[in-house]
């Protein structure tokens, strides 16, 4: 009942104001959720990192690294801050976030609004020595003359402060950014990012993930897989928001420009995930994102080839108790299916999802 009242109050506000209030509540330490009991069967080790459970908070919520530890207390096994760019930028003009309530979805065209490297780095420096897996999602400024260099700067700045880094070239809200997924541009970017990591002291070198769009063709996915492998990138996050609009129930806001996230993205992003698993083989870390709002959808991502999963939009509609509930229900599913480790479920429906259209 309390969750329902909280949602009604937040949904009476515009989405960005509601988001700001939720960040403020977490920053103040208000009891807005409850973590699930630790379960060793949910531990996943990939890219040299031991995740206490496979559920993470996706980038976009805590853009400026204000509340990563509070997110962990909600039940997430890990949290990804950002997207953060070298210099602060305001992003696109409002209104720029739209709820599609009939679809449990959101369209956003924020445009990497954030406070810049310095502000996020100061907050992450302040938590050094604390436990918990925190990642930094790095991006490029809209007006940058050398976007690949912006990612190099992100690697240098945040590697000593986080557990891993995500190179985000898949947002549809920065003009031209997605063109960096084309093979030649991607090869140059990943080579430069890899060189920047290698130049760091060994103790500061971190796993690097690449976040891709769900709107890529099969040929594009093949190119991404080839370049990720060639440049020894540690994993791929599948996927960012989509520019597709098929099958939406909502009439209001459905045609707004921006990236669509939430429940309608589940099937498309899961099919892309499975195809990517087929391309990269069993060893590379894959993170499934898009439409995760329950233990069932989270575990289906794993069955389709994901090692880890992330959510964001699902929590907008279900509230801050969602991550704890998902993790608890994951444990119950393992009980019911008599499975000793969540990793045993990976790829069990790979063939099914890889055969779905993208």
Q: What is the DSSP string of 146-198?
A: -HHHHHHHHHHHHGGGSSEEEEE---TTSTTGGGGGSHHHHHHHHHHHHHHHH
Task: Give CA–CA dist 271/351, Å, rounded.
Answer: 10
> What pLDDT, in 10s, does the model give residues 313-330?
999 999 999 999 999 999
User: For residue 291, what are its two tokens?
Assistant: 């439409």
Start-to-end CA span in the chain (Å): 39
pLDDT at 331 over 90: yes
Residue 313's CATH number: 3.20.20.70
> What pLDDT, in 10s, does the model give residues 103-114?
999 999 999 999
Task: Give CA–CA dist 80/166, Å, rounded.
Answer: 9
Say if CB 85 and CB 141 are below 8 A apart: yes
Place of tokens 């779905």: 356
Number of domains in the chain: 1
Q: Which residues contact 241 (CB under 8 A, 6 or more apart)?
A: 108, 171, 172, 213, 214, 258, 259, 260, 261, 265
Instruction: Specify the DSSP class assigned to residue 114.
Output: B
Res 6: pLDDT? 64
> What pLDDT, in 10s, does the model give residues 164-211?
999 999 999 999 999 999 999 999 999 999 999 999 999 999 999 999
Check 22, 171, 239, 261 and give the catalytic one: 171
> What pLDDT, in 10s, does the model give residues 118-154?
999 999 999 999 999 999 999 999 999 999 999 999 9
Question: Of 209, 213, 229, whose CA–CA distance to 285 is shortest?
Answer: 209
> What pLDDT, in 10s, does the model give residues 3-40?
655 667 778 889 999 999 999 989 998 766 667 779 99
Say if CB 335 and CB 299 are below 8 A apart: no
Burial state string for 235-264 with b = 16 or more CB within 10 A and e = fewer than 16? bbbbbbbbeeeeebebeebbebebbbbbbb
Cis status of the peptide bond prior to 239, with omega within 30 of 0: yes
pTM of structure:
0.96
What helix, strand, coil percent values describe the chain, rounded to 5? 45, 15, 40
Look up 171 and say whether it is catalytic.
Answer: yes
Question: Of 84, 75, 108, whose CA–CA distance to 240 is shortest?
Answer: 108
Say if CB 209 and CB 235 are below 8 A apart: yes
> What pLDDT, in 10s, does the model give residues 68-121?
999 999 999 999 999 999 999 999 999 999 999 999 999 999 999 999 999 999
Say if CB 236 and CB 210 are below 8 A apart: yes
Range of the domain at 52: 2-354
């Amino acid at each position: 009942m309390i969750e329902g009242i909280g949602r009604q109050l937040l949904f009476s506000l515009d989405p960005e104001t509601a988001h700001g209030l939720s960040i403020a509540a977490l920053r103040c330490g208000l009891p807005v959720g409850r973590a699930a009991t630790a379960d060793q069967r949910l531990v996943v080790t990939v890219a040299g990192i031991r995740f206490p459970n496979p559920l993470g908070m996706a980038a976009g919520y805590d853009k400026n690294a204000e509340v990563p530890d509070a997110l962990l207390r909600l039940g997430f096994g890990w949290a990804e801050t950002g997207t953060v760019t070298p210099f602060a930028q305001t992003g696109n003009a409002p209104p720029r976030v739209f709820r599609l309530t009939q679809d449990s979805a959101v369209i956003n065209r924020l445009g990497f609004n954030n406070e810049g490297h310095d502000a996020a780095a100061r907050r992450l420096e302040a938590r050094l020595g604390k436990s918990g897996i925190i990642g930094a999602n790095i991006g490029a400024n809209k007006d940058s003359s050398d976007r690949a260099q912006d990612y190099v700067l992100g690697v240098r700045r945040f590697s000593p402060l986080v557990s891993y880094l995500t190179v985000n070239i898949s947002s549809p809200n920065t003009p031209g950014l997605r063109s960096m997924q084309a093979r030649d541009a991607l090869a140059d970017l990943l080579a430069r990012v890899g060189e920047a990591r290698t130049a760091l002291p060994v103790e500061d070198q971190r796993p690097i993930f690449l976040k891709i769009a769900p709107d890529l063709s099969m040929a594009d996915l093949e190119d991404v897989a080839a370049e990720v492998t060639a440049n020894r990138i540690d994993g791929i996050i599948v996927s960012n928001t989509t520019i597709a609009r098929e099958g939406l129930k909502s009439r209001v806001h459905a045609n707004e420009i921006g990236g669509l996230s939430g429940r309608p993205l589940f099937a498309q992003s899961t099919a892309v995930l499975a195809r990517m698993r087929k391309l990269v083989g069993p060893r590379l870390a894959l993170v499934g994102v898009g439409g995760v709002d329950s233990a069932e959808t989270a575990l289906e991502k794993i069955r389709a080839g994901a090692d880890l999963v992330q959510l964001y939009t699902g929590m907008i509609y279900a509230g801050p108790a969602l991550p704890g509930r998902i993790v608890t229900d994951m444990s119950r599913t393992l009980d019911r299916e008599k499975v000793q480790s969540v990793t045993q479920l990976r790829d069990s429906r790979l063939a099914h999802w890889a055969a779905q259209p993208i």
